[in-house]
Structure 1
Amino acid sequence: MNSTDKIFTVSQLQNRLQIWHNQNQTIVFTNGCFDLLHLGHVDYLEKARSLGDKLVLGLNTDASISRIKGPSRPLQDETSRARIMASLLFIDAVVLFNEDTPLELIKIVQPDILVKGDDYTVESIVGHEVVLARGGEVKTVPLVKGYSTTNIVKKIEQQLKLK
């Protein structure tokens, strides 16, 4: 299997979700930008996947990231980010979304479990109402402290200033 086999359009994902639901698979959903993959991301995603049978990752498009984080981001284009994320063993599907939040995608995916890091409260997680209303669960998982793309970017900038 190639990493590209795990990158889906919304309609392709809907077909795959139907298969997984028919197999009584527990669908876990999370989302993010994942601009520079680091240990914090890997740990978080492994923990998210351990909560169910299949992990669906909603990945912000380049346009979405630029609106949220500013014109200097993303550092890597969406095709690169999607391939990198799809190459991870514990991710079963990657789907891009162009909105600022994954709410519409969550309505389509209808995950059994919605997950974010413990820097969120359940009530602050976008889509929690959708998941809870259909009897699903919303969970937070502990994050590895000190790891963030923003911190990595700052460190690189500092190193460049020293040269």
Structure 2
Amino acid sequence: MESKDKIFTLSNLQDQLQAWRAQGQKIVFTNGCFDILHLGHVDYLEKSRQLGDRLVLGLNTDASISRIKGPSRPLQDEMSRARVMASLLFVDAVVLFDDDTPLELIKAVQPDILVKGDDYAIENIVGQDVVTERGGEVKTVPLVKGYSTTNIVKKIENQQNS
């Protein structure tokens, strides 16, 4: 399987989710921008996948990242980011979403487990009510301290300015 085979449209993802559920597999969902892949991302996604059988990654589109983080982001286009994320062994599906939050995507995916980093309080995680109302779980995983795309960008800018 090539990494691009793990990049889904929402309708294709629905078919894949149905097949996984028919096999009794537990679906884990998380989301993010993943603009520059770093150790923090890898550790977070690996830990997220360990919570279930399949990891679905909601990936912000370029437009949604620009609205959220400003016009200088993203640094990489959405298809580049999607291919990089899909290449990871522990990511089973990547699906792009254009909203500012993943709420509608979470409603469509109906994951068994919704995961975010431990910098979020569970009650503040978007979609937690949707998942818990249908008997799913919402969990946080510990983040590797000191790793963020923003910090990497600042470090590069500081080196260029010195």
Q: TM-score, normalised by structure 2?
A: 1.00
Other-structure match for 2:44: 44
Q: For the residues of structure 2 that align with 1:10 and 1:44, how far apart are their CA atoms?
A: 23
Q: Distance in 1 between matches of 2:25 and 2:85?
A: 21
One-letter amino acid matched to 2:127: G
> Which aligned runs of 4 or more in structure 1 are off by greater than 2 angstroms?
none
Deviation of the 1:95 alpha carbon: 0.1
Deviations 1:64-96 (A, max 9, x none): 000000000000000000000000000000000
What residue number does 1:120 align with? 120
Gaps of 5+ in 1: none
Q: How does 1:77-88 map to 2 (within 5 A)?
A: 77-88=77-88
Query: Cα RMSD between the aligned structures?
Result: 0.3
Q: Provide the rounded CA distance (Å) in 1 between the counterparts of 2:122 and 2:108.
A: 20
C-alpha displacement of 1:127: 0.1
Which residue pairs with 1:89 in the alignment? Answer: 89
**Which sections of structure 2, spanning at least 5 residues, go unmatched?**
none
Q: Normalized against structure 1, the TM-score is what?
A: 0.99
Question: What SS does the aligned partner of 1:152 have?
Answer: helix
The percent of aligned pairs where both chains have the same amino acid is 80
Tell me the distance in 2 between the aligned counterparts of 1:28 and 1:161: 42
The equivalent residue for 2:104 is 104
User: In the alignment, does 2:147 pair up with 1:147?
Assistant: yes
Count how many residue pairs are aligned between Structure 1 and Structure 2. Answer: 162
